[in-house]
Structure 1
């Protein structure tokens, strides 16, 4: 289990697959209150033929450190890991908050991005009435109830209840300070007016039933992105675990240029 210390945080990561494999490395970045194991299906599939990197963001999973106050902070962590691994160019693949991190890297360091994949992610946080109420109540309700309400909403109707409860327990184990600080960082994230600067092929994969970050918000980003491809899958906000095989197939087509 390799680790890297970056600005007071110890980042746990995986670096698997052949160094001389097909194409540039794929770098998977998970979302809020999750960890690198969100990408288990994709790691198993892609590491057979190409280099795959994934990490636990600071304060998440098996990584230490305080929560990020801005999205730029974890983006710097990812870049530091890439430097450490001597990866000059890659395909960032980010889910939800991880997609915000991936966009930040693509905008700030375009020379390091060959292609870009955003899974259930957007470029500007716009809250629905329900999410706005959750946001307003975040300091008034018990922490575990706040996390449970958010995670419950992340899955499409009909997803197994025990699996939802398992993900709620895992998310609630993330330190409160990390959860709330990152939540605030996502709230402040807004690069919608800049996504036109992303000039690499970009895949936007979204769950049709995503009520956390609705499809219509993603489509605003797609319209502004000059080289965007959109794929909608019958799932909620947690595509990597709700429909892992379908997501992997979409990623495979895109990163190999067969989409």
Structure 2
């Protein structure tokens, strides 16, 4: 196994999948809480943190499967944030027998038609490449970070974004992500595992629209958190823990 991972605690296994632009440090506040009752596996996705850089094609769903196989986990609760939630959703659709329960924190969604504003935001970051400091500055100028930048966790977000952009600039020019087909957006109704969906009320409009897609599924339990933006794992870890713990014990 070439992916960097850390295991904390004992009990039912819980696999944490971090968001794009971050690494396993995203779970700094949540792991100590979850590890009181569960065996928590946090890992750096390919190209993030201490894991190796991608070569060309990257299949993040298969990376999760490979990690679980390596750790001999037949089944686990899967928790994903943002792009990590996108990976978790695709994993649950592809390998439902490997997922005991699914927790999605403000996830993105494969195949979802994102808005022009969302695309323009990412284009603005690309326009200042390769100046990493400016890339971070532009990235932080988004509703995604409106709460966290005024919290004690701002420095950690800056550190993770700086690290991410630095590594990303050295990825192969033909780098691409491979996702299961058909896309999750087209077959979301097939999602079987019992699912907890959490999102901040101050999140991006596109992420709130993604939430509306999941609202059509009867097995999904929704929690909206006041005064929270996209970075819930850092700013509202105690709220997340209480909801996750209750969901797991149910």
Pairwise TM-score range, normalised by the shorter structure: 0.7 to 0.9
Task: Count residues with an aligned counterpart.
Answer: 241
The Cα shift of 1:165 comes to 5.0
How big is the alpha-carbon RMSD for the aligned residues of Structure 1 and Structure 2?
Answer: 2.8
Q: Could you tell me which residue of structure 1 aligns to residue 161 of structure 2?
A: 171
Match of residue 120, structure 2, among 133, 141, 145: 133
Change (3 A) 1:212 1:25: farther
Q: Distance in 1 between matches of 2:129 and 2:213?
A: 34
1:91-113 deviations in Å (ceiling 9; x for gaps): 10000010011011101111101
The farther-off stretch of 50-59 and 149-158 is 149-158
Give 1:46's match in structure 2, choosing from 34, 40, 46: 34
Gaps of 5+ in 2: none
1:193 matched to 2:186: yes
Higher mean displacement: 184-193 or 160-169: 184-193
Q: Deviations over 1:206-225 (max 9, x none)?
A: 011111743132122221x2
Q: Which runs of 5+ in 1 are unaligned?
A: 6-10
2:135 match = 146
1:1-259 mapped onto 2 (5 Å cutoff): 4-5=1-2, 11-18=3-10, 21=11, 24-66=12-54, 69=57, 73-123=59-109, 124-143=111-130, 144=132, 145-153=134-142, 154-157=144-147, 159-160=149-150, 163-164=153-154, 166-174=156-164, 175-177=167-169, 185=177, 190-211=183-204, 213-223=206-216, 225-234=217-226, 235-257=228-250
Q: Post-superposition shift, 1:132? A: 2.1
Cα distance in 2, alignment partners of residues 215 and 208 from structure 1: 8
Contact 2:15 2:78 (C-alpha < 8 Å) held by counterparts:
yes
Structure 1 residues 76 and 177: CA distance shift in structure 2, 3 A: farther
Task: Tell whether the 8 Å contact from 2:53 to 2:171 is kept in structure 1 after alignment.
Answer: no
Q: TM-score, normalised by structure 1?
A: 0.82
What's 1:8 paired with? none
- Cα deviation code 1:27-49 (max 9, x no counterpart): 10000011112112221112122
Quick one: structure 1 residues 87 and 157, their matched pair in 2 at CA, closer, same or farther if it must change by over 3 Å?
closer
Aligned residue for 1:100, secondary structure, equals helix
TM norm structure 2: 0.84
After superposition, what is the alpha-carbon deviation per residue over 1:142-182, rounded to whole angstroms, capped at 9, x for unaligned? 3433343234422234741774354123212121247898x
